Amino acid sequence: MTPSVTVRTAGRCFCPSPSGKSERCLEGWDNLLKGLEENRIPVLAVVGPTASGKTGLGIELALALGGEVISADSMQIYRGMRIATARPTEEEMRGVPHHLIGFVDPQDRYSVARYLEDAGAAIREAAGRGRLPVLVGGTGLYVDSLLDGITFREERQDESLRRMLAEEADRLGNEAMLEKLAAIDPGYAQTLHPNNRGRILRALELFYGTGVTMSEQLRISRERPSPYRCLRLGIGFSDRRKLYERIDLRVDQMLRDGLLDEVQEFYRRYDPGTAAQAIGCKEFLPFLSGQEPLESCVERLKQETRRYAKRQMTWFRRNSDTVWLLRDEEGVQALTARAVRLAREWLLKNDR
C-alpha cells in the first residue's frame, strides 16, 4: 500500500487516515505548504473534457494525498441536476469532502466573480485544515481564472440593459449576438460557442455598461500574481473516438439512471435560465413539448456533448503547463498511479 502523505501547516501536522479523517502525526514534511507563508497555496488541478474520468481521478488523488475536492464545473453548482451534470453521488465521493456542488438555486445568477470568491474561500479553508485542495472540473474559464489569479469586479447590475439584451437575443438568436460581440471584442468572441448565451450577453452588458471589453478586463485582472502554486494534470485521449464512445455510453447510462425524469421535474419547478441551458436538459425540450421523438433528442444530446468535449480540449490544450495523461493509452490503475507519483514529486519539489 502506498504510504499516505503528511501535511504540516502552522506548526500542526496531519496525516489522513484510511477513514478519510485527519489525525495528528508525529513525523512528516516540516514545510509542505510553505506556500501558505508566502501567500501561495499549493493547488492540484485535474482538468479535461467531459466523460474523461476527472471525477474519479480527483477522488483517488484526494484519498492518496489527504485532499479535499473543489469543483470547477459551472453546471454542477446548481441544485436539482445531479444526473444531467454527472455530479458524483455520496457513494462515489468515498468520504472525500467536496465543495461547490449542488448549492446554487437554478434561478440565481452565478457569475465568474462569485465563483472565484467561493472557490478561493474553499481553498483557503481546506489548506488551513492541513488538507491539499484538489481542483476538479472542465469549465476552463473557472479553472484558468482561479489558478491564474484573475480578478473580476462585480459590476453594478443594470436590469434594463440586461433585459434589453435578453429580448434581443430571443428575437435574433445567439449567433447574431455572438456576431455583435465579435465586432466589439473579436478575441473574446472567438473563445465562445453560440450556445454560451450567458457569457455572450455578459460580455455585451459589460461593454455597453462600462465601455470596457471583456478582453480588456481580463488583461487588467491578470496584473496581480496568482495566490496559488499549482500542478495541472489533464486527462486526454490520443484517439478522440475513444472519448466519443465514452460520451455515448455515459448518456445511455444517464438515461437508465433517470435523466428524463430529472429533466421533467427540473422544468416543472424552475423557469428557464442559465441552469436550464445545461447540456443534458435543453436537448429534451422538443420531446417534452411533443415536437420530436425521444430518440432524436438523445442523439442530439450525444452530439452536443461531443462538440462540448472538443471545445474543452481546445481550451485546455492552450495551456503549456498542463501535464497530460492519456486515458486510452494507460489503464485506469496505471494512470492513477502515475498521477499520484507526479503529484507527490511536485509536492516534494515545492517543499524544498
| Binding positions | 48-55
Q: CA–CA separation, 197 vs 85, rounded Å?
A: 18
Give the SS3 label for residue 80: coil
| Closest listed residue to residue 198, CA positions, set 80, 314, 106, 79 | 106
Q: Reading across the β-sheet that carries 228-236, which strands appear in turn?
A: 98-99, 67-71, 132-136, 41-47, 228-236, 323-326
Buried b (16+ CB within 10 A) or exposed e, 251-283: beebeeeebbebbeebbeebeeebbbebbbbbb
Bind-site residues for ATP = 48-55
Bind-site residues for substrate = 50-55
Buried b (16+ CB within 10 A) or exposed e, 324-335: bbebbeeeeeeb
